Amino acid sequence: MAANGKVVINLATGLEDTERVMIAFLVATAALDRGKHVAMFLTKEAVRLALPGHALGTACDGCPPVEKLFGQYADGGGELLVCPICFNVRKLDEASLVANARLAGATPLWEWIGDDDATVFSY
């Protein structure tokens, strides 16, 4: 694991693939449970997950609901960095972002990571 304890989860899939979303949030909440600082970089259709009422659904029988994982992620201090290009091209409202989300592209992502390494997962 990276020396600074930072983890980046790159999520480019929204609810068109609920199983991928579920796995991304499972990995993210597990990292938070280990005391890591976690940022999820949302791109493409995943940007919609940063809006209230969008992180919903269950990927399969026996899978945890996405809204439960989303809540655990937020409650654990996980951040959502939302690609501004992807967000704006969909004509979404920045004022509607959930509390732990902010528009942040490549440069703010690198600033969040800092000079040390980060562990990266991509879904």
Which domain does 10 fall in, by range?
A: 6-122
Which contacts (CB < 8 Å, 24+ apart) does range 58-62 have? 58/18, 59/18, 59/19, 59/21, 59/22, 60/19
- Does 1 reside within a domain? no
Read off the CATH number of the domain in which 75 is found. 3.40.1260.10
* Structural tokens at position 102: 């902010």
The number of distinct structural domains making up the chain is 1
Which has more confidence, 1 or 96?
Answer: 96
pLDDT digits (tens, 9 = 90+) for 62-105: 999 999 999 999 999 999 999 999 999 999 999 999 999 999 99
3-state secondary structure of 93: coil
pLDDT digits (tens, 9 = 90+) for 3-54: 569 999 999 999 999 999 999 999 999 999 999 999 999 999 999 999 999 9
- Does 51 reside within a domain? yes
- Does 85 reside within a domain? yes
- Does 107 reside within a domain? yes
Q: What is the pLDDT of residue 3?
A: 54
Look at the alpha carbons of 23, 25, 28, 34 in this order and tell me if their dihedral is positive or negative: negative
Q: What is the pLDDT of residue 116?
A: 83
What is the residue-wise DSSP string for 36-84? -EEEEEE-GGGGGGGSTT-S---SSTTPPPHHHHHHHHHHTT-EEEE-H
Half-sphere exposure of 112 (CA within 13 A, CB side): 24
- Does 98 reside within a domain? yes
